[in-house]
Structure 1
């Protein structure tokens, strides 16, 4: 883990790996910090804890349910907003597939709705099935091994065409989400803006960056996306992550459309 990872989070991740090992035994092949922890951008009070586990083969449902019971917040309190845990078979992690391919997905925390899915068939397509391939791509680049081989060896990256498609799927999913009407600040709009920046940076530069770093990287670039309004929007979005006023939903959506148009060469649907 990064030297900047808070000590309570370090202890939690150590305990999580211990519990997972007690439940899965020899089936547990690896455990990896993903998301903001993996990208060394964990923000106490705001960030989730993202963890990927790798198991040797398909999980028996009873074992999967025990893992969920032992790792949910009520059993192992998460010091962050919540835990987002995904379990993959070793062959899926190494395959570079764009498909979800997970065994178990668990969301749990003091400020997160509890949710569990035992396989992709239980995941509503409206919630997005692109997350998993993108998360494994980030893990390949920046995952931090808590147990097992380096993340770059445990997770294969996506093929360029699959990566491009999933990034565009994610942008379109964000655009399809309802936003408040009118020119009023919209909580969460800052993540929509900075998430679009991260998508743009990944496809244009080949690097996954944390959201804030991606926003700064985009405004440092020259091109049709970067003007006074864009710089102001990105700076406002970054400030909103530390308690500032978020941008309006209309401004966020307009920026997302511009990013999508830049990446596809085709005007985005309204």
Structure 2
């Protein structure tokens, strides 16, 4: 972990402890940090806090005020913070279930949400169950018990449904057209590989590792065109030319068709 990120997470946990006091049960690095794939200059910082009981709205607002980028500068593109009650983390529910959500950073729009009902369905309600599944497997404890003891995984049918919903959500979003490189298309390709790896092999992998796993699997998906596309996408994460929007979309549709062809196990 880069030292600026380590210091930032230490400070974040300290500030959260000051605001939440005995309510704070744990703090966990999720996303790329938890998966050991944090890339300076590219990755966000994903953090989940666990509290004992429902948060008072005034406390939640103070937490947002103290942790937003303007108060505690994030060394990455931005902070994506979610606070869950202990019972929600342990439930294995597919529902959002958060107490407060904060997005803040130099490279992202500020957003604070204090109730799942305030979250527009068009923005996706599947993120939270999937994030808690990743936390169950790979969350890095910054404070409190191991993440696997705090966050329950999803049931197979719920996991399958949320992964498929996420892929369909991405396909419904506007995408670049034309035969020109589209920055960000590489993440669409590798993110689809990660979804495939979780449902086909039962493990959440970093995006690059998921792409490699698909190519090594011997699946009919891993034909010559897919190999070229995945290798192009991997290279794009370190400065290479990204795929086009239509290439990424066609691949996402292939992954979606493969994952919806069989029932969850």
TM-score, scaled to structure 2: 0.98
Pick the aligned partner of 1:201 from 197, 200, 205: 197
Q: In 2, distance between residues paired with 1:84 and 1:119?
A: 16
Matches within 5 A, 1:157-196: 157-196=153-192
Q: In 2, distance between residues paired with 1:97 and 1:223?
A: 31
Deviation at 1:144, TM superposition (A): 0.4
Pick the aligned partner of 2:151 from 131, 139, 155: 155
Matches within 5 A, 1:1-270: 5-265=1-261
Q: In 2, distance between residues paired with 1:216 and 1:244?
A: 17
- Tell me the SS of whatever aligns to 1:16: helix
Q: In 2, distance between residues paired with 1:105 and 1:236?
A: 34
Q: Deviations over 1:132-173 (max 9, x none)?
A: 000000000000000010000010000000000000001101
Q: In 2, distance between residues paired with 1:119 and 1:212?
A: 34
Q: In 2, distance between residues paired with 1:142 and 1:226?
A: 27
Q: In 2, distance between residues paired with 1:86 and 1:245?
A: 33
Q: In 1, distance between residues paired with 2:176 and 2:252?
A: 16
Greater CA drift, 179-188 or 169-178: 179-188
Runs of 4 or more, structure 1, over 3 Å off, are none
How many residues are paired up?
Answer: 262
- Tell me the SS of whatever aligns to 1:209: coil
Q: In 2, distance between residues paired with 1:163 and 1:125?
A: 18
Q: In 2, distance between residues paired with 1:78 and 1:166?
A: 29
Unaligned stretches of 5+ residues in structure 2: none
Q: In 2, distance between residues paired with 1:153 and 1:265?
A: 33
Deviation at 1:177, TM superposition (A): 1.0
Aligned CA RMSD, in angstroms, stands at 0.8
Deviation at 1:183, TM superposition (A): 1.1
